[in-house]
Every structure is written in C-alpha cells, then in structure tokens.
Structure 1
C-alpha cells in the first residue's frame, strides 16, 4: 500500500535495499507527520535550533533526504524533533520510546550489514589505524627536520662566534671550521626558514611566566585533564543522544568544541579573559588553540602573542598542552582560505610543553570492543542496558557519564543502584565510590566520586591464602577466576564501610 502525505501527495517510495528496522522507523516518522497534517514544509518551518542543541536546523532538502532513508538512523535530533512537533502531547513519551528503540535496532542492522560486507572483501586499514599511521609519519618527519635544524643551528652558531672573534679568531678559524657539520638539505615541506628559532630573552621570559603560573595552578595536570574530559562529554551529550565518540559529532559541533574547551578550562583553572586574546595569564595575553589532530591553525591576529596549544586523543586516553609564541618564522608559509597558518616544523620544535601525552580520564564506552557496545545497546530497556554495561565493563572504572549515555534517561545513579541489586544475583558486585574500601581490599581500581567498578566475585577457596578478599555475612569473597561457578552475593545491602 502506498503511504500518502498531507493533501494526498504520495511519499517517495523507500529504497528496496533498506533494512526492515530502518523502514519501520521511517514508516512511523512519516505516519506522525501525516497525522499532524503539517507536511514537510510545515515541519521544516517548525524546526528550531533548540531541537538541535543550539545548531541551526537542517533545511527542507536535508529533511526530505532523511525521510527517504539517507542517514536517518544517525540523526537523533531530527527523529526526536519529529515526535516533539508532530505527536499529540499525551503520546510523546510513548512515541519517543518507540522511535528510540527503532533507531537502535536500525543502527544494529546497519552495523551487522557493514560487518557482513567487510567479511566479503579483503580487510582494509581502519580509519583510526590510518590516522595513527599518519600521525606517526608526521612525528618521524618532525624528528628528521629537528635533526637537520640542529645541524643548521650549529653552523650558524659557529659562524656567529667567528664573526664576533674577528681578527683574534684567525688562528682559531681552521679548527672551528673543522667542527662545522655539512649543510643539510632543506626539508621536504615548504616551511619558513629563519637564522635561529630560539626566542629572545624577553619572549622566553613571557613564556616562562605563563608556564610557571599554569604549573602553579595545576602542578599534576589533573585539573587540565578533568576539564578536557568534561568539555568532550558535555559536547557529546550522551544522556540525550547516546553518543560516546567524538567521531559522532557533526562538523559544526567539532568546531564548537574549541569554545567549549576554552570555557570549561578557564573555569577549572580560574583564568581571566584577555582584552585582545582569549585569556590573560600572568599579565600576558594568551590565545587558546584546541585541535583534535594537533594541527593548530593560527589566525593573523594571534601572531606575536603566546598561544596555549591543546590537543587530545580520546581513543588513547591522552592529552597534551604547550606554549608557543606565534611568530612568522614559526608558522607555515601558506594559509587556508581564512588566512590561518599552521605551526611549522621549526615551530613544533619551539613549543614549550607543559604536559605531553598525559593521561586523560578514560572514555569507558569508547574503550569497549564494538561487539560489546552492540550487545549493550541491543536491549530495549534502559535498566537492562546499564546491567549489560557492568557485565561487560569489569575491573575498570565506569563513569556516571557512561551510565547516563547507556541509559539515555534521567537519574543514571538510580539505574546504577538498581543494577547493583540485580547483578548481585549473578555474583557481580558493582561498587561505587562509597564502597571504595571494598574495591581496594579486593585489589580492584578504587572508584572516585561519580564512578563505579564492577567485578564478579566467588567464595574464597581454602588454598587461596594470598588472594585479596572481603568478608560479607561471615563468608570470604574474592574476585572470581574464569572457571569459578556463579555464586549469588548476599542479599543484604552492601556496606559503605568495613
């Protein structure tokens, strides 16, 4: 039967190669639009930035393509906006639950189809592997360039000394010349050369002052790392969107991430805004530059100012931050269409690193294998998804953000409390920061505020004399080994203290 839209106009037939779950999702969305009577144009006019977390809503043509099946399962905002605009108030909650379930099923179907196609063709490098390879190539190129620069700087220093010594160096000229290395070949990439990349004492003093102030505010980098984790998690908005990977962000959201990092980092460190640049640190104007790839782009107005360069790699759970005085000879010759220039190889050598590849709080869901994520999200119930999370993410800290992302509902900590009681029947202990003593006694990572650690326990055997254990209701329990049978934990609530 042909589905019709308002005023009898037929909907474009759906492609025959769509999976059943995506087809059903589109049928429901089209049905809601039909029932409301507003049509596609009315829907387009009703969409606002509030439906898309402050980003401009898509246009009519994009909406039309989505409702023909193009990328609909990845567009959570549009799916839920259709429900909010078109469904009757008393039906919105049920309809929202329905479309979320259908979207999850459609995503699972797409993943299964992608794996089937991948199995049918020779294995190709994954995007993250390619990105890692490109980063390693860039690192090697930087190292080669730095070696060349050291040789060039030695020649320049020797020549300078000979010039200063003048006539008194006549007898020393030959011995000194013998120590000069052979001229190096210019680097392959077109970068700006300069007689010396070293900073003047005044410039170095400015960077020293900013570096000292930042290290005083955050000697270990924990506040830096926590702010970056918060900025990424807030942008992903997992509780509403179910997203856990930066790669799932839209292009405009990735652009906005830089502003989010600036806001959260400034608040965490108590930094004041600058008059010309983003920040004022130790009486110096400092421009904050954030890049996911480490390829910072410097605008013309930042040249001559100190830049705080920040990057992170969520998959590797690491981040870096350094200071650079953005001078012409430290930037690439060419710029992009906005006139921004990258940091050259010489410039990278001049970066004063505050923290290099420092640990970033772990993204629990991103670290899980893809098949575990699929299994977790395959459950229709939010509580069952949370339960499955702790079945699969064991002996590691799980953040409340991960719980909220999996549940996609309010009050994630209630889901965690309910999960503890349910999982205890399977012998799994889900320990929050309030039971940190138990985690420590069992030899598990100690959860911090807002975190939990899960592990399957088993009764301690007589031959396990050196195994960490805890005592519950007169029985000793230890972390289960693979061959240990499942034993339910005591039903009494877990004590917050020994």
Structure 2
C-alpha cells in the first residue's frame, strides 16, 4: 500500500476533512430518504414495512449524498475523481461490498452501514482482483475477501453511531397510541412528548408521527400549552432562540430543528445547580429579537 501513490494521495485528501461528521450526515440522510417517514410513518429500516429492495437502495442514495458532503462531482470513468484520480464509491448494508468489473483494481471508498446497531464505518482500498472472492453474482460482481480487507485497506472512520431515532425507544403499546389511526396530530404529539420526556426529538421524528398531514410543525407548536397544562411538560422548540437558550440551561442541545419536553423534576433539578455549571459556549451574543 505504501508504494500505491494514488491510494495514499486520496487517503490524505479524505482524512484531512471532517470525515466522521460528513459521512454520518450522509448516511443518516440516505436512510431517512429511503424511509420517507413524513409520507409513510416509517422510522426503522428493519421494519417489515420496508422491503429488501428499498433497504438495498440505501447504498445508491448514499453515493450522491457522499459526493455532496465532500464537494465532489459524478465523473467518469468511475463514480468521481479526487485529485484527478478516479475513485469508486461503494456502500453496503450487508457484511460485504460487491465490486463491479469496472471498479476492480481501482481505488474505492467502502462504506458499511450496520442497520441493526445504527452505526457505520468506512475504508479506502484498491480492490485488486486477487483480493476478491472467487464467486461472482450474475452481474459479475465479486465480494472482498475478509483477510484482504483487514490487511490491505486503509481505515477512514471506525464504527460511528448514527444520530438516535427517539421513536425506536417507544414500546409496541406506546407506538400504537402515538400512531393510532383517526387521531389528530395534536393528540399524537402530546402522547409522543408524554412518553419521551427529557428526550431530544428531531424534526424528522415529529414529521414521521404526523405523516401524511400538512404543517405538522405548526400543530406541534400549538400543542405546547395543552401539553404543559395536562402533563406539566415544558415543550421547547429549537426554532426559537429563547427556547434554545432555555434548553441549553437545562442541559439539552436542540440545534435549530429539534424539540424537547422538559419534565418538572428535570427543571427543578437544574435550578439547584450553581450558575457556573450552566455556562454554555455559544460564542459572542448580540441583543436581538428571538428567532
């Protein structure tokens, strides 16, 4: 590998970037695109509602998201070029990658997604034919020999967790309530926040719970007062700066599109913590209206 200058140049280019963040974002986006939760109500690739062809399509969707994250373009003769070196992009949700004939003996970025454990990892390797398994499928694609991967690949990122999906924390009984048919969005969201207090919930999960409906975020905002009155949960919205700051004081990082329903016990617990422990590094702040 040391004398493969193209491989070394591509590896140096890749690891100089915030690759863990970029690939994690790309994988998460590809999985959510396939699930299409806002239209289908699905949030788990292993669900029986997701067929095998859809799961397999994650690799195809992921290729374009990786290109976008890395600022690369689809360029022949393979999938892209890095420093004018042709590079193949291969992703799998299984235990191996199937390398097409045009990608054999070429520099390849290999991404593996472990759906069950919600994690991913990546390697860089020149996939010489002698390092591929003997058997080929009907398209003449061949898998990579396990010992060759261990010996001749360069690690890009080790096993890295994907962003959590809070809906997977719900029991079957709770899911039946949250996704009950013929129930309004406000009632569904009230159940969701009630079952998952003190849990950061991304926008995508809220859209999944309200699948098929218009403007679920407005419904979620409308539910704030009702949830507070019924359960005492203080719902904070990342879209609003005042809520983000309040959430940060309570130990939650909402970003700009996540939500959290704070339980009274959590709020009271943090009141007793000395102010120096509540300092959050937001950077310089200028007075202005809440966003």
Fold shared per TM-score above 0.5 = yes
Task: Considering fraction of residues, name the structure with more helix.
Answer: 1
Structure 1 regions of 5+ residues with no counterpart?
A: 1-198, 471-494
Matched, 1:228 2:30: no
Query: 1:277-292, aligned counterparts within 5 Å?
Result: 277-292=78-93
Separation in structure 2 between the aligned mates of residue 240 and residue 346 of structure 1, nearest angstrom: 43
> Which runs of 4 or more aligned residues in structure 1 lie more than 4 Å from their structure 2 counterparts after TM superposition?
458-461
Residue 250 of structure 1: how far off its partner (Å): 2.4
Task: Considering fraction of residues, name the structure with more strand.
Answer: 2
Matched, 1:453 2:275: no
Give the structure 2 partner of residue 26 of structure 1: none
1:246 aligned counterpart, secondary structure? coil
Match of 2:11 among 186, 211, 223: 211
Matched, 1:430 2:226: no
Query: 1:256-405, aligned counterparts within 5 Å?
Result: 256-349=57-150, 350-378=152-180, 380-405=183-208
Give the structure 1 partner of residue 44 of structure 2: 245
Query: 1:104-253, aligned counterparts within 5 Å?
Result: 199=1, 201=3, 203=4, 205-219=5-19, 221-247=20-46, 248-253=49-54
Greater relative contact order, per chain length (Cα 8 Å cut-off, separation 6+): 2
Separation in structure 2 between the aligned mates of residue 362 and residue 455 of structure 1, nearest angstrom: 18
Deviations 1:298-327 (A, max 9, x none): 111111101111122344332111111111
Residue 428 of structure 1: how far off its partner (Å): 0.6
Residue 496 of structure 1: how far off its partner (Å): 5.2
Separation in structure 2 between the aligned mates of residue 235 and residue 340 of structure 1, nearest angstrom: 24
Separation in structure 1 between the aligned mates of residue 271 and residue 217 of structure 2, nearest angstrom: 34
1:272 aligned counterpart, secondary structure? coil
Question: RMSD in angstroms over aligned alpha carbons?
Answer: 2.5
Residue 252 of structure 1: how far off its partner (Å): 2.8
Q: For the structure 1 residues 295 and 465, does the alpha-carbon distance in structure 2 shift closer, same or farther, using more than 3 Å as the test?
A: closer
Q: For the structure 1 residues 347 and 415, does the alpha-carbon distance in structure 2 shift closer, same or farther, using more than 3 Å as the test?
A: farther
Give the structure 2 partner of residue 442 of structure 1: 250
Give the structure 2 partner of residue 8 of structure 1: none
Residue 468 of structure 1: how far off its partner (Å): 4.1
Deviations 1:373-425 (A, max 9, x none): 22211252222112211111222221111100100122221122122222111
Residue 344 of structure 1: how far off its partner (Å): 0.6
Q: For the structure 1 residues 455 and 286, does the alpha-carbon distance in structure 2 shift closer, same or farther, using more than 3 Å as the test?
A: same
Deviations 1:339-361 (A, max 9, x none): 11111122221221111111211
Deviations 1:227-251 (A, max 9, x none): 2111111111111111111123223
Separation in structure 1 between the aligned mates of residue 179 and residue 171 of structure 2, nearest angstrom: 13
Greater Rg, structure 1 or structure 2?
Answer: 1
Give the structure 2 partner of residue 165 of structure 1: none
